[in-house]
């Protein structure tokens, strides 16, 4: 009889990290159809994160104890079934030699790194693990990697990420709020945006940047320009405080860009650089805007800040786009991929 349990692995290092958020959202989605166990592969996974989500640490000692106990009891490690790795891999991990091999091995590939692709496609002969099945999170990513696999958008809870009550009805004299949300690292920021932030503030907008303390030295103090650390506010609360979501990264390239879709789910018009997996879902001028140059971004934002009705129209279309992407039938099809063979 097939083992129906899905074991989901991630480093679970950063409570606000995209990979961790993706892994937790996927687990929640899959639990509607069967048993899911979460495993932290990193020794640096914070205890508070694990306790909050029922995550267990996977170690060699734990795997050995579980094997000696025939895979039963509290200390048991992964015991077969389907192993799903999200942003973590199994190479050079001694515990993999002890735990029972999976019936299926799935890798949710959320980077562009060819080295990781190589690591996850070949297994040491001793493992006797099945061939890796790949899940990519955008067509953009799959095309660049030129590797067979299915495409599943990174899961988002659109019942939680919803428009604010007054999203499309701002009071007279309202000062529009432009913002962005990301990890607090320089790779997530493009220096050309700094001048834009100053311009928008000077021209009557409030600018809120969460995950931007790393660029504080490049921006002068301004009462209408707020820099917040990563995780200062819950993502949904922060997004609901905005009128326009702006996004461009520096050296980092988004394979999917879940924060863009979270903003769209909150009914925000998004203005995004064209380089990223999210671009395929944005129809310029209909449910969002795409730009290639800083001047294009400047012109798009000038129009949006001057036209509240346009912001409302584009934001409503953005919400409908995300509702279609994460419809009940679409989620069922994606869940069946993971549970289908494991439940046979």
Cα dihedral 140, 145, 149, 151 in deg (nearest 10): -20
Q: How far is residue 222's CA from residue 293's CA, in Å, rounded to a whole number?
A: 25
Split at pLDDT 50, 70, 90, the class of 190 is very high
Q: What is the pLDDT of residues 266-310, one digit of tens each?
A: 999 999 999 999 999 999 999 999 999 999 999 999 999 999 999
Q: Give a three-class secondary structure readout of 53-107.
A: HCEEECCHHHHHHHHHCCCCCCCCCCCCCEEEEECCCCCCCHHHHCCCCCCEEEE
Domains of the chain, residue spans: 6-155+326-339, 177-325
CB-CB contact of 87 with 108 (8 Å) = yes
Burial of 96 (0-12, 13-18, 19+ CB in 10 A): buried
Q: What is the pTM of this model?
A: 0.82
Q: How far is residue 9's CA from residue 339's CA, in Å, rounded to a whole number?
A: 16
Same fold: 6-155+326-339 with 177-325: yes
Q: Quote the mean pLDDT of the chain.
A: 90
Domain 6-155+326-339 matching CATH 3.30.70: the answer reads no
Range in 91-105, 196-210, 305-319 the model is least confident about: 91-105
**146 φ/ψ angles, rounded to the nearest 5 degrees:** 50, 50
H-helix or E-strand containing 12?
none
Q: What is the pLDDT of residues 154-174, one digit of tens each?
A: 888 999 999 998 877 777 778
Q: Give a three-class secondary structure readout of 220-263.
A: CCCCCEEEECCCCCCHHHHHHCCCEEEECCCCCCCCCCHHHHHH
Q: How far is residue 64's CA from residue 183's CA, in Å, rounded to a whole number?
A: 37
Mean pLDDT calculated for residue range 77-105: 88
pLDDT at residue 207 is higher than 80: yes
- C-alpha closest to that of 259 among 243, 272, 250: 272
pLDDT given at position 251: 93
> What CATH class is the domain 177-325?
alpha beta
Range in 64-68, 127-131, 146-150 the model is least confident about: 64-68
CB-CB contact of 156 with 26 (8 Å) = no
Q: How far is residue 30's CA from residue 52's CA, in Å, rounded to a whole number?
A: 18
């Amino acid at each position: 009889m097939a083992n129906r349990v899905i074991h989901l692995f991630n480093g679970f290092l950063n409570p606000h990290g995209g990979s961790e958020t993706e892994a937790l959202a996927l687990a929640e989605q899959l639990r509607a159809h069967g048993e899911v166990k979460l495993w932290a592969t990193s020794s640096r996974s914070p205890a508070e994160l694990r306790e909050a989500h029922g995550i267990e640490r996977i170690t060699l000692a734990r795997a050995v104890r579980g094997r000696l106990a025939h895979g039963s009891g509290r200390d048991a490690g992964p015991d077969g079934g389907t192993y799903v790795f999200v942003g973590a891999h199994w190479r050079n991990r001694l515990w993999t030699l002890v735990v029972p091999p999976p019936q299926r091995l799935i890798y949710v590939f959320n980077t562009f790194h060819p080295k990781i692709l190589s690591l996850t496609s070949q297994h040491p002969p001793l493992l006797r693990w099945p061939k890796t099945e790949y899940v990519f999170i955008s067509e953009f990513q799959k095309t660049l990697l030129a590797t067979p696999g299915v495409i599943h958008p990174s899961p988002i809870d659109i019942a939680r990420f919803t428009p604010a009550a007054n999203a499309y009805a701002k009071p007279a004299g309202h000062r529009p709020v432009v913002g962005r949300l990301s990890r607090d690292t320089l790779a997530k920021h493009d220096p050309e945006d700094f001048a834009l932030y100053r311009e928008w503030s000077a021209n009557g907008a409030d600018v809120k940047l969460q995950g931007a303390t790393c660029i504080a030295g490049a921006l002068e103090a301004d009462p209408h320009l707020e820099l917040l650390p990563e995780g200062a506010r819950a993502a949904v609360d922060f997004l609901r405080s905005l009128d326009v979501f702006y996004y461009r990264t520096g050296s980092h390239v988004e394979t999917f860009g879940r924060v863009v879709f979270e903003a769209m789910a909150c009914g925000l018009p998004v203005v995004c650089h064209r380089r990223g997996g999210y671009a395929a879902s944005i129809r310029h001028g209909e449910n969002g805007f795409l730009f290639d140059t800083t001047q294009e971004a400047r012109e798009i934002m000038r129009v949006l800040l001057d036209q509240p009705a346009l912001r409302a129209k584009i934001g409503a279309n953005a919400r409908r786009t995300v509702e279609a992407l994460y419809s009940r039938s679409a989620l069922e099809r994606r869940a069946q991929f993971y549970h289908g063979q494991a439940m046979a």
